[in-house]
């Protein structure tokens, strides 16, 4: 009993003490409680959705087997265009095979960020087999390069070469095979164009594939480590710390922006002595960088690059490259030409693209393609001129659209849907033919068959009216460094241009939402967070 007394006293005195300090705390307002409740609900639904998608990917539902007796559809490439075809085509209607030397899809818009380690390369790769596994019916993937397309015999020749990674295995032979097709979709993209400029191929780093980004990342570290070598002569150090980017298109500008961020955010802290000695030069043959963007965004981008102390040289065309020097020709305001000589440590070539050899070969074998230069000529349904049932999409085509991921993806979706419609048309035609035969032979009630025939003929008419491809431009975005981006957008037909930090946030959220899978999205977010907290990883690959 005695023990209980103080407890009672405490419990009585506690409210008195609170009361003596002021009024009792007010309950949060109804609005605030609702916001909190909504926030919790959103997080809960988001987490539930993520868990569901992860579960779906880890343990996908059983697939139907490869359909028998269906037409053979070959899809060449595993890039933006081909993967869009694959996502949209109904794999129960075709015997689908994807052929590509790359067994993954690459989210190219974030590739420049991989060169400095802002994003890890695996975060923007999606295995093609996991994409195929998500289809309703099984489809096949063959890791091989297509070396020949024969549109007359309807075959493609494919070649699988064992990876030459220094430990070439004798057990994995080089294989060559000929594969027949009924329908063919060509989405092999383009290759980097050097315009035959001497030295570009030998000494330039490109930025188109994952291995290019890895090579640049390695080369950046090579230059810094060599420049820090004790006793190195100042001239060589200066050269090693000079990076030259040729091509002021989006690839060159975005890479220059990423490299600038690396210098400012990480190198400064790690090697303060070298930071002030690094030089970054961007060379562009035309009067402006980002010539495909609206004029005031070109100016904004150029001003931002200059503020970042990037030496922007416009109206300057590279003519020759040696192992350590770039020779260019600058057009002066009075029209005279001046030679520019720049010793370099790292040289990145972002001068544009041209057709792959396999596409160029088609220019010469198909008479209707004789005038093609940049890519295959296609009609309004993206069918390759001069061929039957061969479609081409993305960068390997020549049209009035820019060679962008946006165009390739829309073309791929269109061809995927078109193929579904063609399958429906063919099935309906079979049904109509069968009913007509029944009617002619009198094997069934003519009234019933006629009614059914009318129904199927209407369906056939609908399935036979194929819509032409129509491109819907959503806008263009480019990162220019210092957490700034430029955007040429189009909303409901209205053009809208902006540049700056808000646009950078828009750029990030747009690209995050465009990432191929939830896995990619989470990995990219983690990479950005990791860099924000710990900085970029400067250790070797
Ligand atoms: P790709 O995506 O290049 O795919 C081609 C596929 O074909 C690859 O899988 C390749 O391995 C395969 N292939 C190659 N040769 C053969 C062969 N012989 N046989 C079989 N398969 C073959 N566009 C935008 O719209 N927005 C952006 O922000 C953007 N950023 C970019 C950033 C960079 C660094 C780069 C390089 C490009 C960027 N682009 C962007 C452009 C965009 O990536 C391309 O337009 C797009 O990839 C074209 O898609 P595609 O399917 O035609 O070709
Ligand atoms: P590009 O063709 O857009 O630009 C190449 C630039 O290099 C041109 O401006 C050209 O004048 C210049 N050039 C060529 N030869 C030169 C020389 N000898 N000396 C100096 N300059 C020279 O190439 P890209 O930037 O690789 O882009 C390729 C395609 O991919 C484009 O369609 C582009 O729109 C798209 N892309 C888009 C984005 C984006 O939207 N953020 C990013 C990268 C690429």
**Residue with CA nearest ligand 2 atom 34:** 404
The enclosing H or E element of 53 equals helix 30-58
Ligand 2 centroid–CA 353 distance in Å is 8
478 closest CA partner among 168, 272, 248: 248
**CA 466 to CA 471: how far, in whole Å?**
16
The better pLDDT of the pair 199, 463 is held by 199
- pLDDT score of 22 more than 80: no
Ligand 1 centroid–CA 301 distance in Å is 24
CA-CA-CA-CA torsion sign (95, 101, 103, 109): negative
The better pLDDT of the pair 463, 410 is held by 410
Answer whether 79 contacts ligand 1 (Cβ < 6 A).
Answer: yes
Q: What is the pLDDT of residue 491?
A: 78
265-269, 337-341, 486-490: which is most confident: 337-341
Answer whether 406 contacts ligand 1 (Cβ < 6 A).
Answer: yes
Q: What is the pLDDT of residue 285?
A: 97
Q: What is the pLDDT of residue 170?
A: 66
The confidence band for 10, taking pLDDT boundaries of 50, 70 and 90, is very low
Answer whether 123 contacts ligand 2 (Cβ < 6 A).
Answer: no
Ligand 2 centroid–CA 237 distance in Å is 30
Ligand 2 centroid–CA 525 distance in Å is 27
**Pocket perturbation via mutation, ligand 2, pick of 80, 248, 249, 479 by most ligand atoms within 8 A of CB:** 249
Answer whether 407 contacts ligand 2 (Cβ < 6 A).
Answer: no
Answer whether 283 contacts ligand 2 (Cβ < 6 A).
Answer: yes
Residue 390 in 3-state DSSP?
strand
pLDDT, average across residues 34-47: 90
Rounded to the nearest angstrom, the gap between the alpha carbon of residue 147 and the centroid of all alpha carbons in its chain is: 24
Q: What is the pLDDT of residue 80?
A: 98
Q: What is the pLDDT of residue 25?
A: 65
Q: What is the pLDDT of residue 2?
A: 43
Answer whether 250 contacts ligand 2 (Cβ < 6 A).
Answer: yes
Percent of the chain with pLDDT over 90: 75
- pLDDT score of 151 more than 90: yes
Task: Render pLDDT for 51-92 as a digit per residue (tens, 0 to 9).
Answer: 888 888 888 888 888 888 899 999 999 999 999 999 999 999
Q: How far is CA 84 from CA 8, 452, 509, in A?
A: 73, 36, 21
pLDDT, average across residues 420-439: 92
Q: What is the pLDDT of residue 304?
A: 96
**Closest ligand, as measured to the CA of 473:** 1
**CA 80 to CA 512: how far, in whole Å?**
16
- pLDDT score of 390 more than 50: yes
**Residue with CA nearest ligand 1 atom 45:** 404
**CA 362 to CA 173: how far, in whole Å?**
28
**Pocket perturbation via mutation, ligand 1, pick of 106, 115, 209, 404 by most ligand atoms within 8 A of CB:** 404
Answer whether 252 contacts ligand 1 (Cβ < 6 A).
Answer: no
Among 56-65, 225-234, 313-322, the minimum mean pLDDT is found in 56-65
Answering whether pTM is above 0.85, one says yes
Instruction: Please give the biggest Cα pair distance in the chain.
Output: 109
Ligand 2 centroid–CA 419 distance in Å is 33
**CA 52 to CA 58: how far, in whole Å?**
10
Ligand 2 centroid–CA 256 distance in Å is 13
**Closest ligand, as measured to the CA of 394:** 1
Answer whether 404 contacts ligand 2 (Cβ < 6 A).
Answer: yes
**CA 490 to CA 496: how far, in whole Å?**
6
pLDDT, average across residues 25-53: 85
pLDDT, average across residues 453-482: 92
Q: Sheet of 494-500: strands edge to edge?
A: 475-481, 484-491, 494-500
Q: What is the pLDDT of residue 8?
A: 42
Answer whether 249 contacts ligand 2 (Cβ < 6 A).
Answer: yes
Q: What is the pLDDT of residue 189?
A: 98
**Residue with CA nearest ligand 2 atom 35:** 404
**Residue with CA nearest ligand 2 atom 4:** 249
**Residue with CA nearest ligand 2 atom 30:** 404
- The number of the ligand 1 atom at minimal distance from the alpha carbon of 406 is 25
**Closest ligand, as measured to the CA of 485:** 2
Ligand 1 centroid–CA 316 distance in Å is 27
**CA 173 to CA 57: how far, in whole Å?**
33
Residue 394 in 3-state DSSP?
helix
**Pocket perturbation via mutation, ligand 2, pick of 190, 196, 251 by most ligand atoms within 8 A of CB:** 251
Task: Render pLDDT for 488-499 as a digit per residue (tens, 0 to 9).
Answer: 987 777 788 899
Q: What is the pLDDT of residue 69?
A: 87
- The number of the ligand 1 atom at minimal distance from the alpha carbon of 101 is 11
Answer whether 148 contacts ligand 1 (Cβ < 6 A).
Answer: no
Ligand 2 centroid–CA 257 distance in Å is 15
The confidence band for 3, taking pLDDT boundaries of 50, 70 and 90, is very low
Answer whether 204 contacts ligand 2 (Cβ < 6 A).
Answer: no
CA-CA-CA-CA torsion sign (416, 420, 426, 429): negative
Ligand 1 centroid–CA 409 distance in Å is 10
pLDDT, average across residues 307-327: 97
Task: Render pLDDT for 155-198 as a digit per residue (tens, 0 to 9).
Answer: 999 998 765 555 556 677 778 899 999 999 999 999 999 999 99
Q: What does DSSP say about strands 325-331 and 316-321: parallel, antiparallel, or unpaired?
A: antiparallel
Answer whether 112 contacts ligand 1 (Cβ < 6 A).
Answer: yes
**Closest ligand, as measured to the CA of 407:** 1
């Amino acid at each position: 009993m005695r023990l209980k007394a103080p407890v009672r006293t405490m419990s009585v005195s506690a409210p008195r003490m609170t009361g003596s300090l002021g009024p009792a705390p007010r309950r949060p307002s109804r609005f605030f409680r609702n916001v909190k409740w909504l926030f919790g609900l959103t997080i809960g639904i988001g987490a539930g959705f993520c868990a569901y998608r992860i579960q779906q990917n880890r343990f996908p539902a059983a697939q139907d087997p490869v359909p028998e007796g269906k037409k053979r559809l070959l899809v060449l490439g595993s890039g933006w265009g081909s993967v869009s075809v694959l996502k949209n085509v109904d794999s129960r209607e075709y015997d689908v095979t994807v052929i590509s030397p790359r067994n993954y899809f690459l989210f190219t818009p974030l590739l420049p960020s991989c060169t400095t380690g802002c994003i890890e390369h695996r975060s923007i790769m999606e295995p093609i087999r996991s994409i195929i596994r998500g289809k309703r019916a099984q489809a096949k993937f063959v890791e091989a390069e297509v070396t020949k397309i024969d549109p007359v015999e309807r075959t493609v020749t494919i070649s699988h070469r064992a990876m030459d990674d220094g430990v070439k295995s004798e057990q994995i032979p080089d294989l060559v095979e000929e594969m027949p097709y009924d329908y063919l979709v060509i989405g092999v993209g383009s290759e980097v164009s050097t315009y035959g400029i001497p030295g570009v191929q030998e000494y330039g780093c490109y930025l188109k594939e994952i291995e290019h980004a890895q090579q640049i990342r390695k080369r950046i570290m090579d230059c810094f480590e060599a420049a820090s070598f004790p006793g190195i002569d100042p001239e060589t150090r200066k050269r090693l710390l000079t990076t030259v980017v040729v091509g002021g298109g989006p690839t060159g500008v975005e890479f220059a922006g990423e490299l600038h961020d690396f210098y400012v955010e990480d190198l400064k802290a790690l090697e303060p002595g070298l930071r002030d000695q690094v030089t970054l030069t961007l060379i562009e043959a035309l009067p402006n960088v980002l010539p495909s963007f609206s004029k005031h965004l070109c100016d904004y981008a150029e001003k931002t690059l200059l503020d970042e102390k990037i030496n922007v040289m416009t109206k300057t065309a590279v003519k020759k490259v040696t192992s350590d020097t770039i020779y260019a020709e600058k057009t002066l305001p009075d029209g005279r030409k001046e030679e520019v000589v720049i010793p370099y440590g790292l040289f990145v070539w972002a001068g544009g693209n041209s057709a792959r050899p396999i596409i160029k070969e088609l220019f010469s074998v198909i008479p209707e393609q004789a005038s093609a230069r940049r890519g295959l000529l296609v009609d309004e349904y993206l069918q390759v001129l001069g061929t039957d049932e061969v479609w081409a999409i993305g960068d390997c085509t020549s049209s009035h659209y820019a060679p962008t991921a946006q165009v390739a993806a829309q073309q791929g979706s269109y061809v995927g849907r078109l193929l579904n419609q063609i399958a429906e048309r063919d099935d309906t035609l079979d049904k109509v033919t069968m009913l007509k035969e029944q009617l002619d032979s009198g094997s069934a009630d003519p009234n019933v068959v006629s009614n059914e025939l009318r129904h199927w003929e209407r369906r056939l008419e609908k399935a036979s009216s194929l819509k032409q491809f129509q491109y819907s431009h959503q806008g263009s975005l480019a990162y220019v460094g210092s957490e700034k981006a430029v955007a040429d957008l189009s909303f409901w037909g209205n053009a809208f241009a902006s540049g700056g930090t808000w646009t950078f946030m828009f750029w990030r959220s747009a690209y995050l939402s465009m990432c191929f899978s939830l896995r990619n999205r989470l990995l990219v977010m983690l990479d950005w967070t990791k860099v924000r907290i710990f900085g970029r990883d400067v250790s070797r690959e």
